[in-house]
Structure 1
């Protein structure tokens, strides 16, 4: 079966519309030829961007009642949403904050109703949405709330390296208090289940970083490993989950140790993500685990400074599309 992949370009003044046109163009990557790509966006915005790039664009109305077929070169299937005001590259406009949320709403509803097989999201600008008078902390939290899910996990991937986060966007001073036995068990259970059920890894092996340098060095550099992390891991091991660690991050992120792992759990944002981005800069993607649907995303921002110049790199979007298609096909197969 041909998977239906919804794509939200995100902030209309950013590089998302440019990426959409590059994916649609006749010289598009082979990725898009394997799926039906459905843009949820303002049709006029996409046509204006296509004209700016000098590329013809055919927008095909999406019909969920028709059998999915690969989207032809030079085209996109479209579910329309309407901008409040015309978007200018690089110039944020709070009037269009509601438009961005409308595209996310359509995408989430379509995924939960299984109209779409997966969702790929382009970059949004949280600040301008909040300036529009709408409380918005990010894609991940928005989709979790829409799906009625209490806990989701952020995992980033680049090539064969997968790094999930025990905590996400917290000041470093707050990380220790946020790493609790309960939260670790929740995160690791979701990570294990997703690797098994979504990625079809029969017996996932998860490497777990310690919080402190040298993983606490027997309590001399901190007791979080002894008091919190190790008891949580032992509880999960008793349930059959294969966990390696806690190990010092500078030990776990070495080739011999990574070869033993299908994924790594980092305790905080900048413990794991610099390694991943160094390994796969321009190809890294974000995958939300724990949702009732597949969601991948680019791992970069709106890049307002280069919007409209035709120089945006599609590497992360191509990787996100590839991963979404692969996961959708695995779900169909099993």
Structure 2
């Protein structure tokens, strides 16, 4: 019998729905069947939410990762912040909640980098909260890349119908075209290719690359970037033997009749890729950061301050993120074993 994977779940911003979806998510039977989850965050906050929303919950502090109890009624918490939990205002962004979220993330990242836990799942935090707390990162993706000293990485979204990789992430739209280069796009294409092969076992994946401009520039009538920046990246990847197609107008690439022909779509910027994904069903997709030295996933929703502390948060996205993290970690472990043999 295989040993259960230890998977860390950060509580996210405690003023949002993170603690609620975390305690609900780790209490699901199929999550416990897939892994042994440990929540990183404030013990007091997790205990409060567990008592409210999980029947017969027993919250235990984790002092060692050996011999964790993994029954559904036990919620394991690794205390990751000593900040005063009473200063958190539910539903309102402030410096304290931002710092607690950051400290929980740093603690979990240290554990996954030292291989004390096998993978990382992050509950939502806010960029503004990080900034208020003094952490100048635009989100989890950039924060974890810095902590792990990872140069090449990609934000991806995985759903039952669609896989999407983003070239640029948390960037104002006015800066996207200035930031794009053929090399940057090529790297994201190659990361997507590796992800499809290593994590999903697709031997010869097909990847569609979106154009930046409407109609992929319409032969430069609507912009030159697709011809001068996107197309060279596609051709470079093709010369390496990758099955890459584009630039394809984004409105065409994401239509069900077209997207079903590809294993992944590479989008040039955040909303170009995420809007069509989420319109197919919020909560169905999982955010995956590929390129880190560990698997990191998260739900595809935000902090939802407007419903925080009301018991209305749906934990399906968190459950999907934990299950995917366990599956991908196992898949990569198996791949490494095959290579050794």
Taking structure 1 as the reference length, what is the TM-score of the superposition?
A: 0.92
Aligned residues: 330
CA distances 1:173-200 after superposition (whole Å, capped 9, x unpaired): 3222222111111211222122222232
Structure 1 position 282, deviation (Å): 2.2
User: For residue 24 of structure 2, what is the aligned residue in structure 1?
Assistant: 22
Is 2:87 aligned against 1:84?
no
Please state if 1:72 is matched with 2:92.
no
Distance change (3 Å), C-alpha of 1:91 and 1:181? closer
Q: Say which SS state the counterpart of residue 246 (structure 1) adopts.
A: strand
Give the Cα–Cα distance (whole angstroms) in 2 for the partners of residues 272 and 196 of structure 1.
21
Residues of 2 paired with 1:9 and 1:324: CA distance? 16
Change (3 A) 1:228 1:24: closer
Q: Does 1:52 align with 2:52?
A: yes
Structure 1's 221 and 94: CA in aligned 2 closer, same or farther, altered over 3 A? closer
Q: SS in structure 1 opposite 2:208?
A: strand
Unaligned stretches of 5+ residues in structure 1: none
Tell me how far apart the structure 2 counterparts of residues 91 and 214 of structure 1 sit (CA, whole Å).
41
Q: Tell me the secondary structure at the aligned position of residue 280 of structure 2.
A: helix
**What do the CA deviations read for 1:48-92 (whole angstroms, capped 9, x no partner)?**
1223336332234263344x77x2112222211234112342244
CA contact (8 A) 1:118 1:295 kept: yes
Does 2:11 align with 1:9? yes
- Residues 200 and 252 of structure 1: is their aligned pair in 2 closer, same or farther, counting only changes over 3 Å? same
- Superposition map of 1:127-138 within 5 A: 127-138=128-139
What is the correspondence of 1:97-246 to structure 2 with a 5 Å cutoff?
A: 97-246=98-247
In the alignment, structure 1 residue 271 sits paired with structure 2 residue 272:
yes
Distance across 2 between alignment mates of 1:79 and 1:172: 38
Between 77-86 and 53-62, the greater mean CA deviation after superposition: 53-62
Higher mean C-alpha displacement, 276-285 vs 88-97: 88-97
Structure 2: how far apart are the matches of 1:8 and 1:326?
19
Cα shift readout 1:79-108 (whole Å, capped 9, x = no counterpart)? 112341123422444234333222111211
8 Å contact from structure 2 (residues 282, 301) kept in 1: no
- Name the structure 1 match of 2:327: 326
The RMSD of aligned alpha carbons is 2.0
Residue 22 of structure 1: how far off its partner (Å):
1.3
Long gaps (5+) in structure 2 = 336-341
Q: CA deviation at 1:128?
A: 2.8
Q: Are the structure 2 counterparts of residues 43 and 173 from structure 1 closer, same or farther at C-alpha, using a change threshold of 3 Å? A: closer
Point out the more displaced range, 76-85 or 14-23: 76-85
Residues 22, 315 of structure 2: 8 Å contact kept: no
When structure 1 is superposed on structure 2, of 215-224 and 116-125 the one drifting more is 215-224
